[in-house]
Amino acid sequence: MSKEFYVSVDIEASGPIPGEFSMLSVGACVVGDPDKAIYIELKPDSPKHDPEALEVTGFDLELLAQTGLEPSEAMQQLAVWMGQVGAGAGKPVFVGLNAPFDWSFVNYYFHKYLGQNPFGFAALDIKAYYMGAFNLAWRETKSSHMATSLNPKRTATHNALDDARYQAELFELMLQRRVHLG
């Protein structure tokens, strides 16, 4: 059986879908070792934005256009980082809280700017894992329910790296509890 390691990933975006809206920041860390982390802010690759999304992220598109990395450079840095932290650890597994959203942007950007996605073609959704592992209804998988049940030390802040670390902690607590239940 091949080895694998979990990478918690969170993004902030200017709207609900890649291709029309921009990924503005990405944060990632290794589950179980959150100090192995990366945070990147990207230049918007589209002027289209949802004002509510920008309000949540706190980003200014004009400022990011000056200070953010070109998307191709950002994705190259993320790929290099994954290779470094994954050396000898095996295949990286994308882990996210509401992974379908974050995954859609990361997958799109990797393919658009690098031609391939180092994660492959799949992602692990923490909400779905939580639901299945603990025999819960979907409505019971909100992050607030998880926090009450699992008691993480971190909280979500809408900073991509902070949130990646928060997600990593939640997932690690789920894995630990699942081992004790099983």
List residues with catalytic annotation: 158
- DSSP H/E element including 25: strand 23-30
143: which residues sit within 8 A by CB, 6+ positions away? Answer: 97, 156, 170
What Cα–Cα distance (Å) separates residue 182 from each residue in 123, 137, 168? 24, 20, 21
Count the Cβ atoms, other than its own, within 10 Å of residue 97.
26
Dihedral pair phi/psi, residue 18, rounded to 5°: -75, 160
CA distance 119 to 82: 9
Q: Is the dihedral of CA 55, 58, 62, 64 positive or negative?
A: negative
